[in-house]
């Protein structure tokens, strides 16, 4: 009798587990079935669609979806590419269009007048703003859970990397000699990895050769040098020996363009890469 009760209990427990699994699958299938048809207007918007939307709901990516500085270019294969013209967009019948810099106010207004939900990714200057962008786009795509999962992954990376460089003074440098000061996402990346930005002027701009010569930083963080090499361009590191020397002798990490080209969770990957280069 006792063995019968145990067997019945085991069968009931097994059925409950199977039932829960079936419900989870059905719920996921229902969420995907309800996902709106989505289209992106530029390379940054591509990343949000590829990360958040069910693949079958993507009716168009930008022509730059598989460029070298596209973070999720490996996932873009097989998906349709669309030019940013009104006719091309409407032909795909999207319910939601996501943009960062692609399109213009007239195109946005024309799409909205035809009932298309247009979502613009904001210019994030810090990680709270990146979280807000992820959650807002995810909400418009009906993918709130996917958005929270992406935010959680980003926060885990930031927590692991926090303070790794212990206040070492550094600058950010691109092949053209551009840099980033306070109020930029790149500044937030440096600070999140425990680096102290040697650039005091807010925003993005060109490095001052005089300042570098008189007060060189302890370290340099390179950005987009991989894209520069792949493109085969001839515009070396600012074209000046001081910048070339700095890049050659004081670089602590070279961040790929795919981590830096858009305001997204990829910035946390850049922080993680910087932290991995810190001395133990």
Dist CA 139 CA 16 (whole Å): 32
Residue-level pLDDT at 17: 41
The Cβ of residue 181 has, within 10 Å, a number of other Cβ atoms equal to: 18
Do 82 and 99 form a contact (C-beta atoms < 8 A)?
Answer: no
Q: 236 pLDDT exceeds 90?
A: no
Residue-level pLDDT at 171: 96
Residue-level pLDDT at 174: 92
Dist CA 97 CA 111 (whole Å): 9
Confidence of residue 9 (pLDDT cuts 50, 70, 90): low
Residue-level pLDDT at 11: 53
Report pLDDT digits (tens) over 155-181.
Answer: 999 999 999 999 999 999 998 889 999
Mean pLDDT in the chain? Answer: 88
Residue-level pLDDT at 262: 96
Nearest to 39 by CA among 91, 104, 110: 91
Report pLDDT digits (tens) over 12-39.
Answer: 555 444 444 443 333 444 444 579 999 9
Residue-level pLDDT at 229: 52
Domains along the sequence of the chain with CATH? 38-158 (3.40.50.1980), 163-276 (3.40.50.1980)
Stretch 167-196: mean pLDDT: 96
Stretch 137-150: mean pLDDT: 98
Residue-level pLDDT at 1: 52
Q: 150 pLDDT exceeds 90?
A: yes
More confident residue, 121 or 226: 121
Dist CA 250 CA 253 (whole Å): 9
Beta-bridge partners for 120 = 99
Prediction pTM value? 0.84
Stretch 104-129: mean pLDDT: 97
Residue-level pLDDT at 240: 77
- Region of 137 (left: φ > 0; alpha: ψ -120 to 50; beta: rest) is alpha
Q: Is 148 exposed, middle or buried (0-12, 13-18, 19+ CB in 10 A)?
A: middle
Two structure tokens written together for 165: 């460089």
Percentage of residues of the chain with pLDDT beyond 70: 84
Residue-level pLDDT at 67: 94
Q: Is 178 exposed, middle or buried (0-12, 13-18, 19+ CB in 10 A)?
A: middle
Confidence of residue 210 (pLDDT cuts 50, 70, 90): confident
Strand 96-99 relative to strand 117-120: parallel, antiparallel, unpaired?
Answer: parallel
Dist CA 129 CA 124 (whole Å): 5
């Amino acid at each position: 009798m006792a063995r019968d009760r145990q067997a019945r209990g085991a069968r009931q427990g097994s059925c409950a587990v199977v039932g829960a699994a079936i419900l989870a699958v059905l719920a996921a299938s229902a969420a995907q079935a309800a996902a709106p048809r989505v289209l992106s207007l530029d390379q940054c918007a591509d990343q949000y669609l590829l990360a958040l939307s069910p693949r079958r709901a993507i009716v168009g990516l930008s022509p730059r979806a598989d460029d070298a500085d596209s973070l999720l270019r490996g996932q873009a294969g097989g998906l349709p590419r669309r030019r940013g013209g009104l006719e091309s967009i409407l032909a795909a019948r999207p319910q939601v269009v996501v943009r960062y810099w692609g399109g213009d106010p007239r195109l946005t207004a024309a799409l909205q007048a035809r009932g298309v939900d247009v979502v613009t990714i904001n210019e994030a200057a810090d990680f709270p703003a990146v979280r807000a962008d992820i959650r807002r786009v995810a909400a418009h795509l009906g993918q709130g859970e996917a958005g929270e999962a992406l935010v959680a992954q980003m926060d885990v990376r930031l927590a692991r990397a926090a303070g790794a460089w212990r206040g070492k003074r550094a600058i950010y440098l691109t092949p053209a000699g551009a840099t980033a000061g306070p109020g930029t996402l790149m500044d937030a990346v440096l600070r999140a990895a425990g680096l102290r930005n040697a650039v005091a002027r807010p925003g993005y701009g060109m490095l001052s050769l005089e300042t570098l010569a008189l007060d060189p930083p302890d370290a340099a963080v390179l950005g987009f040098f991989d894209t520069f090499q792949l493109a085969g361009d001839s515009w070396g590191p600012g074209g000046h020996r001081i910048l070339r020397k700095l890049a050659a002798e004081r670089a602590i990490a070279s961040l790929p363009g795919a981590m830096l080209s858009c305001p997204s969770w990829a910035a946390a990957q850049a922080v993680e890469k910087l932290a991995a280069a810190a001395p133990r």
